[in-house]
Structure 1
Amino acid sequence: RDNRENLCLSKEEISVVLDEGGISACLTARQVGKIMQGIYRSWDEAVFSDYLTRLAVPADKKFKDFSRGMKMKLGIAVALSHHPRLLILDEATSGLDPVVRDEVMDIFNEFTRDENHAILISSHIVSDLEKICDYIAFLHKGELILCEEKDRLKEEYGVLHCTAQDAAAIPASAIVGKRVSPLGCELLVKRSGVPGNPTFSPVDIEQLFIFMAKEEH
């Protein structure tokens, strides 16, 4: 969601979930909640308790005894329990099994249903980005390769399967990436740059990233 006109947020309104939990090893989830009450004026203990239950996080087990996935779930529960408007996620779903990850994605989707909420997410799990992001940015080797609205990317790019002879007839400016096999060519193209009316296969975001990364080598 484009919130460039509304970027004035207090620290109280921003939450961060990092790849590493950042919680003291000797604390339990319940103790973490008590500490957060003294940090955030908007801390909601009822919401925190609900997230612990929903994510199956034990309230009285020490953080040092948590699995990596459990640590991430506690971090997510903490991040959402003081009613933030901006949620910053760094690999927040890594280490979660598929069922739990799907539930966490549902929670993030619920969060963004409020038009005053936004999520900035960094992730190598591209399917997660497709589920919750309106805009996609692709960083490769320290460079910003791509930054565009997700739906527009899918409209702008397509995959074309053709022979090597047909591929040679396509303007080079329209070809973003190319794979060659004994069966022919698979091209990632800008649809508008391809003459005629060929049949394009839809491109998903992961395909787009792979094609673009290979072209950068």
Structure 2
Amino acid sequence: MPHLLEIKNVRKSFGHKVVLKDVTFNVPSGSIVAFIGDNGAGKSTTFKAILGLIAKDGGTVKIFGEENIDKHAKLKEKIGVVFDAMNLPAHLTIKQLNKVFEKLFKSWDQAHFYRLVHAFSLPTDLKVNKLSRGMSMKLSVAVALSHNAKLLILDEATGGLDPSSREELLDELKNFVSTSKGGILLSSHIMSDVEKIASHVVFIKDGEILLNEEKDNIFESYAIVDIDEKQLTLLDKDIVVAKRTSGSYFNVLISDKQALPKGIPAKTISMEEVSVLLTRSEK
């Protein structure tokens, strides 16, 4: 089976500003791909290019093996989308939303929707515009999970949630992937969430992919070393992923800790440290 989502050499500029530079990565079936980067790095532009909300300058986007998803109504129904900004009808209650989506989606699962609504402790008689930001995000995720989607595209879906609600939502996302063999592309600034559920991580900076790797491989093989200039010259350039000057020393992310020269100790890493080093790394 092809990847659920294939992005290859996608480019986008607004005027003279280059926003995406040959962005390439995939979302395999059964995976949760974390898309990580600072604000303005190109995440939202990538999402919009995937969904056809903006025109690409170059490259290809294939969803379920098809390039022009707009021509395939049945395939579009298999995509669940949650953006950071709330986009559900503000004047409707959850009960009314259910009736709307019953007509909108042929595969709408009312029982599953109400199970999620109750699991997320959402009030069914309150209008959408009266919900808190956290409740709105949980409602958006409940909708995305209730029409037999195979690919979820989630932009900061856990933003505004307390730790307990985040854990609850993450459990539902993991359950979705394990039961449906679907896939998720998830942007997040919360690295603890990434560590909990991601199978793959993709880091983007200034519109360019810096790292595209399986999460387990990062923790097994990668390392961060603090070294001086002389030690830096001893490193095999092929294993240097990113470096950052820190006073008279360098923080260096390397892809193979077994290839480190003797006398250079590797630190145990966290996703937070990897994220900070990559986003603040030097060219």
What SS class does the counterpart of residue 216 from structure 1 fall into? coil
Aligned equivalents of 1:26, 1:169: Cα separation in 2: 63
Q: Are the structure 2 counterparts of residues 68 and 115 from structure 1 closer, same or farther at C-alpha, using a change threshold of 3 Å?
A: closer
Tell me how many residue pairs correspond in the alignment. 215
TM-score normalised by structure 2 residue count: 0.68
Q: Is the 8 A contact 1:26 1:63 kept in 2?
A: yes
Of 28, 32, 38, 1:2 maps to 28
Relative to total residues, which structure has the larger helix share, 1 or 2? 1
In the alignment, does 2:169 pair up with 1:104?
yes
Q: Which amino acid aligns with 2:64?
A: L
In the alignment, does 2:131 pair up with 1:66?
yes
Alignment of 1:150-169 (within 5 A): 150-161=215-226, 164=228, 167-168=231-232
Aligned equivalents of 2:211, 2:233: Cα separation in 1: 26
Q: Is the 8 A contact 2:191 2:271 kept in 1?
A: yes
Question: Percent identity of the aligned residues?
Answer: 34
Q: Which amino acid aligns with 1:203?
A: I
Q: Which amino acid aligns with 1:82?
A: H
Map of 2:122 onto structure 1: 57
In the alignment, does 2:209 pair up with 1:126?
no
Alpha-carbon deviations, 1:151-208, whole Å to 9, x = none?
A: 222233212356x4773563272553245469x7654334244212754222222211
What SS class does the counterpart of residue 170 from structure 2 fall into? helix
Map of 1:13 onto structure 2: 78
In the alignment, does 2:247 pair up with 1:188?
no
Q: Are the structure 2 counterparts of residues 122 and 153 from structure 1 closer, same or farther at C-alpha, using a change threshold of 3 Å?
A: same
Alpha-carbon deviations, 1:25-83, whole Å to 9, x = none?
A: 11001111110000111111111111110001100001111111111011011111112
What SS class does the counterpart of residue 29 from structure 2 fall into? coil
In the alignment, does 2:273 pair up with 1:204?
no
Q: Alpha carbon RMSD of aligned pairs, Å?
A: 2.6
Aligned equivalents of 2:181, 2:63: Cα separation in 1: 9
Aligned equivalents of 2:180, 2:212: Cα separation in 1: 22
Aligned equivalents of 1:74, 1:65: Cα separation in 2: 12
Query: Structure 1: where are the runs of 5+ without partners?
Result: none
Map of 1:22 onto structure 2: 87
State which drifts further: 53-62 or 203-212: 203-212
Q: Are the structure 2 counterparts of residues 216 and 160 from structure 1 closer, same or farther at C-alpha, using a change threshold of 3 Å?
A: closer
Q: CA deviation at 1:16?
A: 0.6
Map of 1:78 onto structure 2: 143
Q: Higher Cα Rg: structure 1 or 2?
A: 1
Q: Which amino acid aligns with 1:26?
A: H
TM-score normalised by structure 1 residue count: 0.86
What SS class does the counterpart of residue 111 from structure 2 fall into? helix
Q: CA deviation at 1:212?
A: 1.9
Q: Is the 8 A contact 2:244 2:282 kept in 1?
A: no
Of 235, 242, 247, 1:171 maps to 235
